[in-house]
Structure 1
Amino acid sequence: MSDGLDLYLPVSTTRPAHALETALRAAVVDGRLPVGTRLPASRALAADLGIARSTVSEVYSRLAAEGWLESRVGAGTWIAGFPRQAQPAVAQRQSPPEYELRGGLADAGDFPRSQWSAQTRRALAEMPVSAFAYAPPEGAVELRDTLAGYLARTRGVAVTAAEVLIGSGFGDLLSLTCRAIRARGGKRIAVEEYGHERHRRIIAESGLEIVAIPVDSEGADLADAEADAVFLTPAHQFPTGVPLSPERRRAAVEWANARDALILEDDYDGEFRYDRRSIGALQALAPDRVVYLGTSSKALAPAVGVAWAVAPPELLPELLRQRSLSGVTPSGLHQQVLARFLDSHEYDRAVRRRRATFRTRRELFAQLLAERAPELRPGGLAAGLQCLVELPDAAAEERALAAARQFGVALEGLADYRAPGGNPDRAGVVIGYGAVSSARAARALALAADALANGLSF
């Protein structure tokens, strides 16, 4: 088309004017042609549709007279809007909360744009032509090599590049791993009684039956679990914040060995402990039993779209088979950029910056909570992007959440994370201090503390 706009408009050869008029109205109403769109010139559209130019001109004139189109002298024909009688019904949308304090989220506002741009330019300059083709199913070798070194250095993971599998996000790799377990004959997987509901949906979609296991001050308790695998957050249980104790870590490995089972280790924020050195990865205790899972979304941003797994060698062929069946391939360009971002230690610097930010926010929240509700305190490790404030009962949890909604603060209670079969008697509110912007953090955390104080009021 001469002016560059392609349109799909079904037009009948028997009644072309009527068909074109109907098709244009429908395209405006359903949003395919938004208000302010410039339409092709009548000559160009007629040529594309195989109809007379006079037919297009006639339809344009008629729709302009009705208010659908606007003809501008010397500037063509434009979508003007809906005539009053044709305005589509618009569903009433609820305004989002002013402050985002849900757990497990990080603020993308401090994404290291200039550093990422520099490494993107470096990758584009250095990448061979072959690197612009589809990436290998296991991931770009440059990223797998660099990640193996980084994970061994910072998380104590026992790994070689050959055991690293790159994914397009944590959910992608969780799905692949669960489908691989199912394909190898697994039927049941144990999950912590509190965790992401989305993760449980992904697991269930693979065909595995989910069974909840208790979580207490020592982390998950696998003593009575009858399953072929277990999904754990051992470094910093999500969302309660407790680490898996040394005794429970050993017990988990013994459990897996006794049942020929797998442990799926979600190390979602293991780099973000700020009171002392981070707890190392569980994977190092049993590399042949643990699938280690990590992601760049907390240190950088979800838009990077890169996650990683370190898998036992015997599981890798099935994981790659599931990768082939999924049809999903992570961005080869993002893998090349991330490899250089890690290699230049920009990733380490990004983690340190965010670690300092999260520490400051947790300390501020603890201070605010002590002032407004001295009976309460943040639980769990001084680590990560969130903490749990436990409350006396479910009624207090609901009162606190209701107050938060009134204050414009997005919060979730412990009940929002509870798996079916989990303990219904434990109550609390999860305070996520990772996603709110720095300029708004103090106000948001003060409102959260006020909401929790309201939860104690009768």
Structure 2
Amino acid sequence: MTDSWVNLAGRLGSDLHLELAGSGGRRAVLIRALRDAIRDGRLAPGTRLPPYRSLAADLGLARNTVAEAYAELVAEGWLIARQGSGTQVAPRTEPARLPRVPDMPTRLATPAHNLRQGQPDAASFPRSAWLGAARRALGAAPNEAFGPGDPQGRHELRRALAEYLARARGVRTTPEQIVVCSGFAHALRLLFGGQVLRGPLAVESYGLAFHRSILDAASVRTVPLSLDEGGALVDELNDLKGVRTALLTPAHQFPTGGPLHPQRRVSAVDWARIHNGLIIEDDYDGEFRYDREPVGAVQGLAPERVLYIGSVSKSLSPALRLGWMVLPEHLLAPVLTVKGQREAWASVVDQLTLADFIASGHYDRHIRRMRQHYRSRRDRLVAALAANAPHITPTGIAAGLHAVLRLPPGTEHSTVQAAVRQSIAVDGLATFRHPAATMPAHDGLVVGYATPPDHGYGPALEALCRILPPGESTPLST
């Protein structure tokens, strides 16, 4: 992507130079360019931006890409979106006090309180047990392990994963059906960037914009499914012409929370069988359920119709870059072809270490310990809200590493701005909404309770409660 002059005369009153350059996807580059234009004063406070459809046409971008960029900048406080008035550059009454906003992935470079979702407790990484597993694995590894690798992944890890996933997640697989990858994003790039699968793809109305940007870069059109407290409304799949693949988070819908209703699990599988379709199951934090035993994987209902993806990003650390795909048999050869013989594979040493870590029982013990740790964190969040902001309802708290705080209508933007001013890193719910979603939007904060260190968690909760607005919250419904 190169520099681009955008003719916005009649909409902005003058030409605007957007520097669409640098690394990252189209959405990230556009966000960076708009931030720079606002920061430099080329887009003054109060300036009305063109509709995202118009800007998309001017820049040669997908409309979803521009809509997501606008939504992200609204959540960050750079823009204001008002019904009937369009999108405008936000006023800056105290510009000297506003922190400079980095590009990706966090908006506060060194926040006083990090309550962003998607990050485990880094201090709880099992260093001693991992080191012991590495020593055992390296001592037992055959010499060939340190030669040219297998794009499918080390057989020791695939064997350990097959046993663990069957026992803990109800996945029906053999080591031969598993392909090791670097995580969920890598899996998406292999599947869609490599054209093993093609769009259109049904997705949930709320999810990671980062994942949508990967699909957008692969020219995959995504179609949102509505959500309620029972998860995705999978019956809508029957009305989507041309859609044969659906991406779901059945164990714990991201980010709104809650497992996919049992009957909807069955309905999704029935849809895939009837339409010769495929379900991609993102099991991103399936082990961390607090009210009862973890919900098993949908893959166990129909291994031939479900492509299961997991990783250690939430359970251990995103720094390990280790994930896996459990593939229906007919997709194994195409995925390995795309992965190639010189693909940047996950470290063999890390693969061997994880295999030992699982087989020795240390992974199960770590999961049990962290389940109690995160449950305690969640309970402290719920108690703090009950004591200081009883009108704010936390949802999605039965599992995972975050909660959604339902805010009074019309208060999300100002609350996110208040968080920035107080150096609190937290996400607005609008950040995760699909730009084409038709279900009603709700104001909220997505609060991660795993990241702060133990000594900083209490102060982080106190700071969070101070920025929450007064009034009555609203439940999620469709």
Report the TM-score, using the length of structure 1 for normalisation.
Answer: 0.76
1:341 partner letter: F
Alpha-carbon distance in 1 for matches of 2:322, 2:356: 14
1:396 is displaced (CA, Å) by: 1.2
Alpha-carbon distance in 1 for matches of 2:265, 2:357: 32
For the 8 Å contact 2:258–2:399, the answer to whether it is kept is no
Q: List aligned pairs for 1:36-185, cutoff 5 A.
A: 95-179=109-193, 182-183=195-196
For the 8 Å contact 1:178–1:208, the answer to whether it is kept is yes
Alpha-carbon distance in 1 for matches of 2:279, 2:397: 22
In the alignment, which residue of structure 2 is the partner of 1:6?
A: none
In the alignment, which residue of structure 1 is the partner of 2:345?
A: 329
Alpha-carbon distance in 1 for matches of 2:313, 2:427: 21
1:206 partner letter: A
Deviations 1:120-144 (A, max 9, x none): 1112211111001232111100000
Alpha-carbon distance in 1 for matches of 2:341, 2:205: 31
Alpha-carbon distance in 2 for matches of 1:446, 1:382: 22
In the alignment, which residue of structure 2 is the partner of 1:237?
A: 253
1:92 is displaced (CA, Å) by: 9.7
Q: List aligned pairs for 1:433-444, cutoff 5 A.
A: 433-444=449-460
1:233 partner letter: T
Picking from 213, 218, 223, the partner of 2:235 is 223
Q: 1:95 to 1:334 in 2, by over 3 A?
A: closer
1:448 correspondence with 2:464: yes
1:325 is displaced (CA, Å) by: 7.8
2:118 partner letter: G
State the identity %. 41
Deviations 1:54-88 (A, max 9, x none): xxxxxxxxxxxxxxxxxxxxxxxxxxxxxxxxxxx
1:199 partner letter: H
1:363 correspondence with 2:375: no
Alpha-carbon distance in 1 for matches of 2:424, 2:217: 32
In the alignment, which residue of structure 2 is the partner of 1:198?
A: 210
Q: Which of 446-455 and 142-151 deviates more? A: 446-455
For the 8 Å contact 2:391–2:472, the answer to whether it is kept is no
In the alignment, which residue of structure 1 is the partner of 2:435?
A: 420
Alpha-carbon distance in 2 for matches of 1:100, 1:120: 31
Q: 1:306 to 1:270 in 2, by over 3 A?
A: same
1:443 is displaced (CA, Å) by: 1.4
For the 8 Å contact 1:236–1:381, the answer to whether it is kept is no
1:131 partner letter: A
Alpha-carbon distance in 2 for matches of 1:196, 1:105: 14
Deviations 1:228-287 (A, max 9, x none): 211111110011011100111111111111221111101000000012101110111111
Gaps of 5+ in 1: 1-90
1:451 is displaced (CA, Å) by: 2.1
1:283 partner letter: Q
For the 8 Å contact 2:231–2:261, the answer to whether it is kept is yes
For the 8 Å contact 1:168–1:305, the answer to whether it is kept is yes
Q: 1:193 to 1:160 in 2, by over 3 A?
A: same
In the alignment, which residue of structure 2 is the partner of 1:187?
A: 199
Picking from 387, 394, 403, the partner of 1:378 is 394
Paired residues, number: 364
In the alignment, which residue of structure 2 is the partner of 1:246?
A: 262
1:106 partner letter: P
Alpha-carbon distance in 2 for matches of 1:295, 1:301: 9
In the alignment, which residue of structure 2 is the partner of 1:404?
A: 419
Q: 1:183 to 1:280 in 2, by over 3 A?
A: closer
Alpha-carbon distance in 1 for matches of 2:318, 2:436: 31
- What SS does the aligned partner of 1:240 have? coil
Alpha-carbon distance in 2 for matches of 1:417, 1:338: 31
Q: 1:256 to 1:92 in 2, by over 3 A?
A: closer
For the 8 Å contact 1:134–1:332, the answer to whether it is kept is no
Alpha-carbon distance in 2 for matches of 1:399, 1:133: 56
Structure 1 residue runs of 4+, over 6 Å off? 91-94
CA RMSD of aligned residues (A): 1.9
Alpha-carbon distance in 2 for matches of 1:363, 1:118: 33
Picking from 218, 225, 236, the partner of 1:213 is 225
Alpha-carbon distance in 2 for matches of 1:326, 1:413: 40
Alpha-carbon distance in 2 for matches of 1:156, 1:201: 31
Alpha-carbon distance in 2 for matches of 1:245, 1:456: 28
Report the TM-score, using the length of structure 2 for normalisation.
Answer: 0.73
Deviations 1:174-213 (A, max 9, x none): 2212346x445x3300111111111111122233211111
In the alignment, which residue of structure 1 is the partner of 2:446?
A: 430
- What SS does the aligned partner of 1:441 have? helix
2:264 partner letter: R
Alpha-carbon distance in 2 for matches of 1:250, 1:451: 42
1:353 correspondence with 2:365: no
